[in-house]
Amino acid sequence: MEWTHPWLPITYETQNQMLEAISKEKLDDLFCNIPDKFRLKRDLKLPTSHSEYEVAKRLQELASKNHPADNGRVFIGSGVYPHYIPHVVPALAGRSEFVTSYTSYQPEISQGMLQTLFEYQSMLAEILQIEVVNSSMYDMATALGEAARMTARVNKKRDRFLIPSSMNPEFCKVLQTYTEPADIEVEQIDYDKNTGLMDLSDLESRLNEDVAGVYLENPSYLGFIETQVDAISKMAHDAGALLVAGVDILSLGLLRPPGEYGADIVIAEGQPLGSPMSYGGPLLGIFGCKMERKLVYQMPGRLVGLTRTEEEPYERGYVLTLSPREQHIRREKATSNICSNQALAAVTAAVYLSTIGPTGLYELSKSIAYKSNYVAKKLNEISGVVSPAIGDSIWREFVVQFNDGVSAEDVHDALLANNLHGGKILSTVFPELGESMLLCVTELHDLQTIEELIETISGIFQNGGA
């Protein structure tokens, strides 16, 4: 009897039939285009088989070498953030009914998932003070790319999109990937190197009949709060352009929602709403717009709507009100090629927001603002340190500048030596800020750990550098 592998369904007989079908004699013939000198001439050094117990023990040994990011000793954010996740969130979002659900190709039998996504849309719309929110995108970076393309579709014959030069450089790369095939020109607007605020004179000089949209971030990637949102909104709209606002949902417990200052399109990152950092993903793109036909019809992704029977007793039903994806009826006319709507991450966000509620959002936002401003103030008292190095008002993140010959790498290494992870080093991507670091402070950072951070950085300058 022919031997078969216990885990592989393909037998030698099946393998030979496949080779014969493609006119090959042996497996090596499939790799004939690879030069012989690059081929491995020995067996792979793989360990022998082990029992389940032995494998579990080895995996535990390897896992013990990792340092968790949610232990309150990590001060890096830069797009993905450490926040406390109530245990009820993964317990509910991890139910099999949600985990196994995907795109509702047959919405009439997906009422549970559709209702959950409808609740997600409704909560985000209320927080953002924008009328329409779709049932999620990949992440904030791709949501920005979709927003830029959407502005050009709405404002036909306009092919320029203006962005602040203080924004996340990784977002810029993604934006370029999305806009280049659509022949949309992306231009950066200068910012004040002291306040961080957008240079309104530079914005005004660039606004004309070719600009489809203007993008602003609040809070900015560099942490400061953009206080000119009303002026930017007016300038963009007076020029006939759409205003795209990138915000942080958790900051809206304190800051003005983008709908209040006239944002036409709103994007955000939903990872802080109950999803762990997980080495940078999966993330959740939040996308919303005003209730205007020209905007809603050009919105990417999917929109879940609520309907009911005409006569009593009224029965509710949830439907895909908008589904302009290329897999559906729109096909080549689709506004987006998004394949996954990040439904499980959206469900997680809905559970998280339902758990903390409006009061919890306010208290959380206030706690983060208090702690981050405290750390910034204490670091600024150290001779040789400027904190915050840009901007007067901050919320969660802020730039710290190091002088007296101390580099950001020196500070980073010293913090690691004390089992602390510093912030994002900015020296290469924002050279105008000098030796600098983007520190992130959240509710996870207790006073003891904060004092360790401050003492470690203070020690570097007291000792004359690293």
Is the predicted pLDDT of residue 261 greater than 90, yes or no? yes
* Mean predicted confidence (pLDDT) in 187-214: 96
pLDDT at 70: 78
- Give the strand order in the sheet containing 132-133: 132-133, 285-289, 265-269, 242-247, 211-218, 160-164, 185-189
pLDDT at 341: 60
* CA pair distance 287, 305, nearest whole angstrom: 16
Those residues whose C-beta lies under 8 Å from the C-beta of residue 236, and which sit 6 or more positions away, are 207, 211, 213, 214, 242, 243
* Tokens read off for 346: 């959206």
User: 4 pLDDT band (50/70/90 cuts)?
Assistant: low
pTM: 0.86
User: 2 pLDDT band (50/70/90 cuts)?
Assistant: low
Adjacent-strand bridge partners of 421: 74
CA angle 288, 294, 298 (to 5 degrees): 60
Is the predicted pLDDT of residue 163 greater than 70, yes or no? yes
Question: 446-456: per-residue pLDDT in tens?
Answer: 999 999 999 99
* CA pair distance 63, 53, nearest whole angstrom: 15
Is the predicted pLDDT of residue 327 greater than 90, yes or no? no
* Mean predicted confidence (pLDDT) in 217-239: 97
Average pLDDT over the chain reads 91
End-to-end CA distance of the chain: 69
* CA pair distance 72, 12, nearest whole angstrom: 54
Is the predicted pLDDT of residue 318 greater than 80, yes or no? yes
Unique residue bearing structure tokens 């996870």:
444
* CA pair distance 59, 95, nearest whole angstrom: 26
- Domain 88-353 in CATH 3.40.640.10: yes
Question: 273-306: per-residue pLDDT in tens?
Answer: 999 998 888 899 999 999 999 999 999 988 899 9
Residue 208: what are its φ and ψ, rounded to 5°? Answer: -155, -170
* Tokens read off for 450: 């904060």
* Tokens read off for 330: 């729109």
Q: What percent of the chain has pLDDT over 90?
A: 73
Contact assessment for residue 216 and residue 237, using Cβ atoms and an 8 Å cutoff:
no
Is the predicted pLDDT of residue 102 greater than 90, yes or no? no
User: 172 pLDDT band (50/70/90 cuts)?
Assistant: very high
pLDDT at 107: 61
Burial grade of 264 (CB within 10 A; 0-12, 13-18, 19 or more): buried
As assigned by CATH, the class of the 358-462 domain is alpha beta
* CA pair distance 236, 108, nearest whole angstrom: 42
Q: Helix crossing, 343-380 with 447-462: angle to 10°?
A: 50
* CA pair distance 408, 406, nearest whole angstrom: 7
Question: 380-438: per-residue pLDDT in tens?
Answer: 999 999 999 999 899 999 999 999 999 999 999 999 999 999 999 999 999 999 999 99
The domain ranges of the chain are 88-353, 358-462
Is the predicted pLDDT of residue 325 greater than 60, yes or no? no
Going by their DSSP bridges, the two strands 211-218 and 160-164 should be labelled as: parallel
* CA pair distance 59, 19, nearest whole angstrom: 38
User: 337 pLDDT band (50/70/90 cuts)?
Assistant: low
Is the predicted pLDDT of residue 340 greater than 70, yes or no? no
* Mean predicted confidence (pLDDT) in 241-263: 97
Residue 375: what are its φ and ψ, rounded to 5°? Answer: -65, -45
* Tokens read off for 24: 């090959």
For every residue of the chain, which 3-state class applies, written as one string?
CCCCCCCCCCCHHHHHHHHHHCCCCCHHHHHCCCCHHHCCCCCCCCCCCCCHHHHHHHHHHHHCCCCCCCCCCECCCCCCCCCCCCCHHHHHHCCHHHHCCCCCCCHHHCHHHHHHHHHHHHHHHHHHCCCEECCCECCHHHHHHHHHHHHHHHCCCCCEEEEECCCCHHHHHHHHHHHHHHCCEEEEECECCCCCCECHHHHHHHCCCCEEEEEEEECCCCCECCCCHHHHHHHHHHCCCEEEEEECHHHHHCCCCHHHHCCCEEEEECCCCCCCCHHHCCCCEEEEECCCHHHHCCCCCCEEEEEECCCCCCCEEEEEEECCECCCCCHHHCCECCCCCCHHHHHHHHHHHHHHHHHHHHHHHHHHHHHHHHHHHHHHCCCCEECCCCCCCECCEEEEEECCCCCHHHHHHHHHHCCCECCEECCCCCHHHCCEEEEECCCCCCHHHHHHHHHHHHHHHHCCCC
